[in-house]
Chains A and B, each alone.
Chain A
């Protein structure tokens, strides 16, 4: 889980890092996404920890640069942005505000109820409907489990006929 620090100096670093948005889903901040792990003011600068959503996510490098930049612009001289892998990121860390913003942006947010149930492999997962972010219809169909990025699946709405991304539960 990600928690804003209680010490003022650290919280200031957190709040600055939290202004950085995901380059691929620009309505979400790193805080909304749950990839901002910790923030700390150091003697001469700041130390921020972030975590990747997926192992190969190319957005991570950009997030790291952007966090560095915003802190440097705000006077922190010695900025370090560390990548931490453990514990592994889960979509459960996405904030409720983030899920709302995703929907408004046209991406269906991850729903923990869609997490795989039943046998370890195969089987037919219970097909809980994904709600269309455009017309809110539940009459939607998965076009591809892998969408424009690893974190999203591609859906089509059978009511409004619009395609849309679904942020997969991980």
Chain B
């Protein structure tokens, strides 16, 4: 039915194709597309990281939970990539599989290795709270496509917060071992939190369209610190890291994530399954 081929296709039908967006007569402006690309890259890398846990989580329910959360964030990535791609005539697969490390504009937080389960939950706590506030704001964007994707996403990431929050409490107030490991996880991810709240030139170009990251800092920190205190853990004192993810400057880990994620699509361009 569709001439549009995608390596992420599940069947002959697409969840949201470039053609859907094209049929709606949409073409993202260049700055809007660059902004959508950031949102997509954050979501995709996080989805890829979370999917590693399938079959490795501490219990089968957790394999399924993290798999479902990865699926939600992959869904967000696909919508944002598809929209971004309209500006450059590229498909979601072009953008996900055929860009190099330096072309990715994801934050460092999503690239932090999974570590143990505590570290993954710590990353989820920070990111999902940020994402909920981000999408809540973005649902009021003057760009109708971004607003539509965000309005849908916000209801899903709220469930992700619940999941991370409950595990933070359970690990923090569990055994001495679980508390120590949850604390260690928080200490490791903490240096990458501030990058999520940095404004830059692109944000200045998109008033009313983009959510200004600095406006999310206070509410996100309030919620994150409340979760940590409720779990009887300590607010980390680890220093803010030097980052630069939005400029394409990345941690070593991103290369490994991309290598695993892109190898098949690059070895067999245009493959579908």
Contacts and interface: CB of A to CB of B under 8 A. Distances in A.
Same complex for A and B? Answer yes
Contacts of A145: 65, 159, 162-163, 166
Nearest to B163: A145
A61 B10 contact: yes
Contacts of A146: 61, 64-65, 67-69, 159, 163
A68 B163 contact: no
B152 A55 contact: yes
Given A56-B72, A154-B61, A121 B11 contact: no
Interface in B78-131: 78-79, 129
A149 B10 CA distance: 15
B155 A88 contact: yes
B217 to A, nearest CB: 15
A56 B14 CA distance: 11
B226 A144 contact: no
B138 interface: no
A144 B64 contact: yes
Contact of A85 (B72, B79, B155): B79
A28 to B, nearest CB: 18
Interface in A56-107: 56-58, 60-65, 68, 80-83, 85-90
Given A85-B148, A86-B144, A144 B71 contact: no
Contacts of B144: 86
B258 interface: no
A65 B75 CA distance: 19
Nearest to B158: A116
A57 B46 CA distance: 17
A22 B11 CA distance: 15
B-side interface mostly: helix
A121 B65 contact: no
Contacts of A81: 13
Contact of B65 (A65, A144, A168): A144
A-side interface mostly: loop
A34 interface: no
B45 interface: no
A27 interface: no
A61 B15 contact: yes
Contacts of A52: 15-16, 75, 152
A161 B35 CA distance: 50
A118 interface: no
A83 B10 contact: no
Given A54-B156, A85-B148, A145-B162, A64 B68 contact: no
B13 A60 contact: yes
Given A61-B10, A145-B65, A82 B23 contact: yes
A82 B16 CA distance: 8
B250 interface: no
A56 B20 contact: no
A85 B147 CA distance: 10
A87 B151 contact: yes
Contact of B129 (A63, A121, A148, A170): A121
Contacts of A55: 72, 75-76, 78-79, 149, 152-153, 156
B1 A68 contact: yes
Given A146-B69, A150-B72, A86 B148 contact: yes
Nearest to A86: B148
Interface in A100-151: 116, 120-122, 143-150
B68 A121 contact: no
Contacts of B162: 145
B71 A150 contact: yes
Given A55-B75, A68-B1, A121-B132, 7 more contacts: A57-B75, A85-B16, A88-B151, A88-B152, A146-B65, A146-B67, A154-B61
Interface of A: 52, 54-58, 60-65, 68, 80-83, 85-90, 116, 120-122, 143-150, 154, 168, 170
7 contacts: A52-B152, A54-B75, A58-B10, A82-B24, A145-B159, A146-B64, A146-B163
A-B interface, 9 closest residue pairs, ranked by CB to CB distance from nearest: A56-B75, A55-B75, A64-B13, A86-B148, A144-B61, A61-B13, A146-B65, A56-B71, A85-B148
